[in-house]
Amino acid sequence: MYLSGTYERNLDAKGRLSLPPAFRKQLSESVRVLPAPEKEVDALYVFTEDTFKAWLDAVFERDGGYDPTRKDHRAVRSGLNGAATTLEIDSAARISLPEADRNRVNLDREVTIAGDGDRLTIWNRQAYAEHQADVDDALANFFDR
């Protein structure tokens, strides 16, 4: 599975998000959603069960893998698992985003969903436009060196 592409959507009054068909075809019956832990990313991450577990393992790779004897490892793992909510995809290909998560990353009615390889990111549309301007600069610098 490799998720790519960008789509604009609107949340309904109940905070439900309709998944684009291109993404829905690659997802199972449920997904794991959590606010991005990076300070500079004001978005929700959406993973499948398998990609969430792989991502969580990758978080600890730079330290040689998860070490349950390390307090910081236990805290990070517990925090990420605790922040991740399992959401069912309904028959209309929608997920109901938790209000607390929506508030934490300032999601209002207009959102942008972007594929990012192993996950989807859900942004406030304006925040995504600002993020994309930084990405465009990084791309230009990367390829023009």
Among 12-16, 37-41, 117-121, 141-145, the range scoring the smallest mean pLDDT is 141-145
Residue with the two structure tokens 């959406």: 46
**Position of tokens 């019956």?**
29
**Domains contained in the chain, CATH given:** 6-143 (3.40.1550.20)
Instruction: Give residue 50's pLDDT band: very low, low, confident or very high (50, 70, 90).
Output: very high
Q: Output the average pLDDT for the chain.
A: 95
40 pLDDT higher than 90? no
Q: Going along 2-128, which residue ranges are E strands?
A: 6-10, 16-18, 30-35, 43-47, 85-88, 94-96, 110-115, 120-124
Could you tell me which of 82, 89, 68 has the C-alpha nearest to residue 35? 82
pLDDT of residue 43: 97
- The CA distance from 50 to 67, in Å, is 20
Q: What digits encode the pLDDT tens for the residues 108-132?
A: 999 999 999 999 999 999 999 999 9
List of residues 6+ apart from 123 with CB closer than 8 A:
42, 43, 105, 107, 111, 112, 113, 114, 131
For residue 145, give the amino acid letter.
R
pLDDT tens figures, 94-108: 999 999 999 999 999
Gap between the Cα atoms of 68 and 55, Å rounded: 17
